[in-house]
A and B are shown apart, each in its own frame.
Chain A
């Protein structure tokens, strides 16, 4: 019997307490003892070690036996795989867009734009995308592997995460107040990146103290934007209140952008850049400040245009929805 005991504990070592290891061990032992007894009866002699060895050999290696009891042969099972794929795609997409935007900003604010700097920024962008995607993949897999093992079966249906596609939806006119989900997701991603940039997370040392006075206001607008977008994503349609919030927010954005447009020197040229400007440079420090003011103005005018378009769209939507009623 000693071999059976050792065999059972070998199997047990390969099981988790969570799976009911003790119970499985107990059941396995009782089964093996039954089988051994039966063999002894058939052979007409008491069970001996040779019989035990033969039995265990037939029953299979402890590895094999433990595997049959493993309810989770998957790292991420078919139950969670669809939502895993969705989130993975979304995150990869967001990371790539986000880092690309950062690179473009770095290129745009790099004065003077020298070949070596461009190579450095673009090279940095490629390495960053690669390392961030690998890290993001790791974290997402880890999260889902934990979810796979901790979230009970009840409550999570594969169908909940799969779009129930109805061919009839092709024939239907789109709802006049329906939100464009893709636009909202883009907006959320970009607003988050904007928040990160102006709050200094990416360490771009170009914002002056004058600019910093505007940061709380910009943050307020951005956060309202994100909250509104998330709310709209869930509700899927515009209504009067969300349109009014949108109008107020876009108006605020325009006012803020106009005030900033009238404020000079929002950006500074980092000291290390200033030190590197050769005295013989034809542009000089003055020139750099002029270029930085100009690029800020271009960005702000762009913001004003976009916000105005959004404002008008929300206004028209509001009027149309009233007319329909």
Chain B
């Protein structure tokens, strides 16, 4: 029981950092929360709503994303898009990710 719990915690920790990178990488075109969620899921990354929406708000607070409300089909939607600041750090994050992957690949081989 305790083992499954700690496994889940580690997996959660592992994914948490990746979600930021995933979200930033997908937001070069504007998306609203739910559409981003589906887009991530279509590509195989299942993210919980309870994780993604607060994360988007946080990234916006950090200035990495910008958002704007739009009225669509009589429904207001909040669209997010990567900011200039976000565009600046995205390549660095990608590079960091590639480094981690190559190191871990070797280590786990």
Please measure, in the bound complex, the distance between the C-alpha atom of A30 and the C-alpha atom of B54, giving whole angstroms: 15
In the complex, how many residue pairs between chain A and chain B have their CB atoms under 8 Å apart?
38
* CB pair A31 B75 closer than 8 Å: no
Q: Which residue of A lies closest to B33 (CB)?
A: A31
Q: Which of B7-15, B16-24, B45-53, B85-93 contacts A (4 or more CB under 8 A)?
A: B45-53
> Which A residues are within 8 Å of any B CB, using their own CB?
20, 23-24, 26-28, 30-31, 33-35, 59-60, 64-65, 68-69, 71
Known: A30-B76, A30-B77, A30-B78. A68 touches B51 (CB 8 A): yes
Identify whether the interface residues of B are mostly helix, strand, loop, or mixed: helix
* CB pair B51 A34 closer than 8 Å: no
> Which B residues are within 8 Å of any A CB, using their own CB?
32-34, 49-51, 53-54, 57-58, 61, 69, 75-78
* CB pair A68 B76 closer than 8 Å: no
* CB pair A27 B33 closer than 8 Å: yes
Which 10 residue pairs across A and B have the least CB separation, nearest first? A68-B50, A34-B34, A68-B54, A31-B34, A27-B78, A69-B54, A30-B77, A30-B75, A31-B33, A30-B76
Q: Which residue of A lies closest to B78 (CB)?
A: A27
Q: Say how far A58's CB is from chain B's closest CB, in angstroms.
A: 9
Partner of A30, one of B32, B49, B50, B57: B32
Please name all residues of chain B whose beta carbon is closer than 8 Å to the beta carbon of A34 when the two chains form the complex. Answer: 34, 75
Q: Which residue of B lies closest to A26 (CB)?
A: B76
Q: Say how far A143's CB is from chain B's closest CB, in angstroms.
A: 24
Q: Other than A23-B78, A34-B34, give 13 A-B pairs with Cβ distance below 8 A.
A: A20-B57, A24-B57, A26-B76, A27-B78, A30-B75, A30-B76, A30-B78, A31-B34, A31-B49, A68-B53, A68-B54, A69-B53, A71-B58
Please measure, in the bound complex, the distance between the C-alpha atom of A65 and the C-alpha atom of B69, giving whole angstroms: 21
Q: Say how far A266's CB is from chain B's closest CB, in angstroms.
A: 63
Please measure, in the bound complex, the distance between the C-alpha atom of A64 and the C-alpha atom of B76, giving whole angstroms: 24
Please measure, in the bound complex, the distance between the C-alpha atom of A255 and the C-alpha atom of B11, giving whole angstroms: 72
Please measure, in the bound complex, the distance between the C-alpha atom of A69 and the C-alpha atom of B49, giving whole angstroms: 11
Please name all residues of chain B whose beta carbon is closer than 8 Å to the beta carbon of A24 when the two chains form the complex. Answer: 57
Q: Which residue of B lies closest to A64 (CB)?
A: B50
* CB pair A69 B32 closer than 8 Å: no
